[in-house]
Structure 1
């Protein structure tokens, strides 16, 4: 529970105030039975030596005191609930924000090894479970401990024989709780593990709902997800049986303890040590303590749930984040990009994905990377934007090594158009503002015009306020790609990357998008990098680098590479030349 204390420590004075108020409320609440017992002894049994006026005045005096004590208890309880709520909300907010910050700062390779739904489930569950536990800890357990201490003090002032009864009962109750609590810990860990897997699986299914429905996989997917829910159900029932066993044993122990106290109290009355009013007060006080203690099993359960959630949160918080240089160098507007013998290998791979790659590109130039599947094109993109770090060699931006710069300022100079267009469920404008929140409507319209989105805007009565649906489901593939290009252009990037931007489009739409890309490249306002499989989309590039198994196989313009009759020529013939031969025949 180190993390729990770490997050509560900044609010320790509020926690202390809440504890004091909770204790005060409990003490005032238990004074009420003592007043009632006093009234019984002085005015219910002793009526022969009092006049009616003395009886009325005396009872009203004690009843007024009881009302005042009850009022103080309620005031203390009200302020305690407010301060506790304040602490719990601040605690939960800080935990969630820190977890969210850590999640977004993780290195990209960590994301490749986990499901996004699992991470979100960890953040939500740790907040919910710890808030419930803190509330139960103070409102039930702490107040019961205060009440028990008050009861023991009250018992000591009456007779020593009551002390062993309380002591034995507390020891037995604590032993039973500790024994069954350890068994629940393992079960709760298993529940959390299965719950996270279920969250990840559901997120994946919803993200790929088009594929699931298109292939008729709805019911197989339901069946697959039910396996997770059944496992969780079985574990929950196992936990429930343990909690019920604990609650039964605790309830039985508390009942025996109450009867033992009652027997001892009656014996003390028989010995003229206690009065009837004191017996009634003692019974009321013990009942007000023992009834909440019957929920001790649920408190232990909440503790184990919070403990398991905190362990998962701690694991998340210790995952490696993107490293920043101690003394970063500011590079200013990007004008030159250089790879110097760059090597990259995935953590679980045995071979290099990129091996001894070197090239230089400057503002105004367009450079393209092509190659067969698995040649390292996608890895190149991730190296360009800093998602991967070179294992060997260096990447230089304006002559400064990537190890000496902060990537976030650099990334704000990058426009990125991917094969799998990532759009949000908001409007066209909101999708563009995602990368440049301060953009005006004029800037939005200008970017859309450059991306050839005029027809899309003309077709919609709402213009830039047209809602796209989740992932841009309301748009065609070409329209989604144009919005993505506009989003890349709106921040006036110094480095513009097109990663297989037309590979998922039909030939006609591909030609339109390719024309847009050629127009943007011709402006020569930025470094333009094209990653492509279809060679017709990169013929205009100033330089084409052909990759094969992570190496540079050949370099040149389209005409030069065709003339060399190497790998590029073979790919060109396969995609274009042979098709023309068939048509001619």
Structure 2
């Protein structure tokens, strides 16, 4: 017989009963939607920037805490004042859960009593089941968040409790009105309730439980309002006190300050990055988004659009497959079935199966179409990272670990993988789950939609929560992997040093320890994944068991067909794939984002020397150099150059001498604009180097460094690297000027000889002469030689110096030379003696000897060494 409502046989649905049913049906759905939206909005509003994340986990110099900002102070007040209130919210929410459990128990007892008395088969209604079961699971989850979230209760809980209060009020009022109308009907029809306990008694029990729940929700809303008002008043008072103390500190004289008042605080970057929410990840990773979208190609944009269309078709096919399985099952169970119809329906099922899945026709076509887009994003991102590293200033490259930088550059594939997984796996999977809930509501009713919703919601929460807990473990594994790569790269690059000190066993042990550290971190991650998989399977199996038992019961009663049972089973099994994939994808996406953190850090490092806005290239000039009062320091605690002034006329040679660490190499670095001077000016051809582009300054300067590094290519490749437009004859002439031409011809392969890693196949003197020839081929206006002939014998050095200074290659060029061997620079037009970063003497060789100062002392020592 038809199921009565709340124990009463249906005599027609009244307005109050209709309102009661709809309120029960939509109350849990509205609360869930409000909770999800409010969590997202609150997370976005409270997400921190990269700088705030770093500042929250580091301390200032001397281990002192950073200054407390207003936002930070309010968060601290929130935590300090909420411990007792948080307990009240936890206990009150637990009581709400208990009221729903009691509600369910009362309904079960009512049904058992009605069955024992054989009055009629009592059924509370599908809406009542959805309301009680859905609300129970929702408030259990809210209770979890009150324990789990550090800053709880927050605005999200207030929204849920406020909407819950409104929903419970509506349900309670409509329930009371429906009872009153029902009693009025019963009185008019003069019928009495059967059984030892009247239906009216159970209605009173339901009303009482609902009233208790309503009072608790009202109490929580009022308590939150009082707590917020009290916290705001206390916050204002303490913030005013902080501001007052701040004003006092600002007016206090800094007589007792041991540091430099003008020195900028040197805050240190944390070794372990702080926890991030998804919004914080997206905000930080937004720097990559311009490289991921093919904005310069309409064809690729069309491919992206077509790929999204295919993804939509895949979602439709995912619904059609289980629906077609159910239709075929019902058709096979029909005794009057037509064979042609069966074959047609089976063929349609096979066609849908052919289209479905990542390996199906639609998935394969989408994967093929996405190849050029994926290659474009990878190329754009990795090229940008490579260009960014080259754009960084010398201070970065002097302090970098090459292995770590290379490891960071390799993470471009992780960002690309993150894009593909989110676009074509995670988002479609979430769409599949949402569509499944709607489909089950339409096809099977609200109760089955509730089953799928609970399975999905708790499965996703469990996955996200457990994966977030394992984020530190995964980050440790990524860091250990990066350290292993760094150790391996550094050791191989320093191959000669390892051999010089017989340190093979030490390097083997160091690398083995790095591998062990990685494997320990990896084992921890694998254990966490296995634990997560078991919990996920438990949640899914419990949910599918309840859904299938309910459907099987309805099949035995004849209210559903066998095809419906098969459809339900097939769709739930199909949902297991996306849910399992979500666990996998969440972990891989999380790993990709953690791996990309290193590349993100690299992108956030900015060069310390950059072109000013609007500067133009250095015009054609004659090579005139003028330094005026130049001061510079690498570190504020120590001065490298102080008030250095000199002038180099076009076509002249200037030599810099002095003890090691006196500032000679710093002069060349400032000339080449590796750094900018902090005081004074450096002019080339009458133009301040800060007022022209860096590239134009460097293009007109040829440098022969103290340590020459060559590419692992042929000699001709390395020589033409300076100027690809030169001819072979130009290369030969430059090599003759550098006294290396005959030596190269003596090699078996001549100019096609491979020089090996960093040029290690050549001797030190040969590398220096190749570097000199390469500088000549650049055809610069200014030539800078930094101990460029230190590895040569005296005769070869004199020959090269004479050709560079007085030969054809030296004419019209301004030459700057750093040399410890004073005999090689006695013909220089100007010799500048540097001591402790300052110019102490300046003049020609004869003039400086006549001064009988520091240069004369250095010359006497040089003569004694030569005589010895």
Q: Secondary structure at the match of 1:161?
A: helix
Match of 1:351 among 623, 633, 638: 638
Q: Is 1:135 matched up with 2:420?
A: yes
Partner residue of 2:852? 565
Aligned to 2:376: 90
Q: Any stretches of 5+ residues in structure 1 without a counterpart?
A: none
The residue that corresponds to 1:107 in the other structure is 393
Q: Which moved more, 1:383-392 or 1:535-544?
A: 535-544
In structure 1, C-alpha distance between the alignment counterparts of 2:775 and 2:492, rounded to whole Å: 27
The reply on whether 1:272 has 2:561 as its aligned counterpart is: no
3-state SS in 1 of match to 2:788: coil
Q: Distance in 2 between matches of 1:104 and 1:472?
A: 21
Supply the distance in 2 between the matched residues of 1:119 and 1:526 (Cα, whole angstroms). 38
Report the equivalent of 1:64.
Answer: 347
Q: TM-score, normalised by structure 2?
A: 0.63
Could you tell me which residue of structure 2 aligns to residue 149 of structure 1? 434
Structure 2 residue 796 is the aligned partner of structure 1 residue 512: yes
Identify the residue that residue 123 of structure 2 maps to in structure 1: none
Q: Which residue of 2 is the match for residue 173 of structure 1? A: 459
Q: CA–CA distance in 2 between the matches of 1:16 and 1:272?
A: 47
The answer for the alignment partner of 1:28 in structure 2 is 317
- 1:38 aligns with 327
SS at match of 1:394: strand
Give the corresponding residue for 1:232.
518
Deviates more, 1:97-106 or 1:457-466: 457-466
1:277-297 deviation digits (Å, cap 9, x = unpaired):
222222222222203422433
C-alpha spacing 1:248/1:136, structure 2 compared with 1 (3 Å)? farther
- 3-state SS, counterpart of residue 320 of structure 2: helix
Give how far 1:6 is off: 4.5
- Match 1:491 to one of 778, 787, 791: 778
Cα distance in structure 2, aligned partners of 1:529 and 1:5? 46
| Contact 1:521-1:528 at 8 Å conserved across structures | yes
Deviation of the 1:220 alpha carbon: 1.1
1:331 to 619, 622, 626: 619
1:406-485 pair list within 5 angstroms: 406-485=693-772
Distance in 1 between residues matched to 2:557 and 2:529, nearest whole Å: 41
* C-alpha distance in 1 between matches for 2:375 and 2:343: 43
Bigger radius of gyration, 1 or 2? 2
For residue 565 of structure 2, give the secondary structure of its aligned residue in structure 1: helix
CA contact (8 A) 1:366 1:541 kept: yes
- 1:334 and 1:413 in contact (8 A); partners too: no
Q: Is the 8 A contact 1:478 1:513 kept in 2?
A: no
Q: Distance in 1 between matches of 2:559 and 2:434?
A: 21
- Work out whether residues 343 and 355 of structure 1, in 8 Å CA contact, stay in contact via their aligned partners in 2: yes
**Take 1:273 and 1:87, find their aligned partners in 2: how far apart are those partners?**
51
Question: SS state of the match for residue 305, structure 1?
Answer: helix
CA distance in 1, matches of 2:345, 2:666: 82
Q: Which of 485, 489, 494 is 1:208 aligned to?
A: 494
**In structure 1, what is the equivalent of residue 838 of structure 2?**
551
How far apart are the structure 2 equivalents of 1:427 and 1:578? 39
Task: Report the TM-score, using the length of structure 1 for normalisation.
Answer: 0.91
Per-residue Cα deviation, 1:156-209 (whole angstroms, up to 9, x for no partner): 222322112111112211221222222222233334444444444433322221
Q: Secondary structure at 1:222's aligned position in 2?
A: helix
SS of the residue 1:496 aligns to: strand
Higher relative contact order (CA 8 A, sep 6+): 1
Q: Which runs of 5+ in 2 are unaligned?
A: 1-281, 296-300
Measure the CA separation in 2 of the matches of 1:265 and 1:15.
41
Once residues 446 and 265 of structure 1 are traced to their aligned partners in structure 2, the CA distance between those partners, rounded to angstroms, is 91
Counterpart Cα distance in 1 of 2:510 and 2:423: 41
* Contact kept? 2:459, 2:579, Cα under 8 Å: no
Counterpart pick for 1:247 among 533, 538, 556? 533
Structure 1 residues 167 and 235: CA distance shift in structure 2, 3 A: same
Q: Equivalent residue for 1:341?
A: 629
Aligned equivalent of 1:306: 592
CA contact (8 A) 1:27 1:150 kept: no
Distance 2:831 2:744 in 1: 35
When structure 1 is superposed on structure 2, of 394-403 and 6-15 the one drifting more is: 6-15
Write the distance in 2 (CA, Å) between the matches of 1:459 and 1:579. Answer: 32
- Distance in 1 between residues matched to 2:432 and 2:517, nearest whole Å: 41
Corresponding residue SS for 2:516: helix
Cα distance change of structure 1 residues 312 and 429 upon mapping to structure 2, 3 Å threshold: same
Looking at structure 2, the residues matched to 147 and 271 of structure 1 have their Cα atoms a distance apart, in angstroms, of 31
Offset at residue 497 of structure 1 (A): 0.9
Flag the 1:405–1:266 CA change in 2: closer, same or farther, 3 A: same
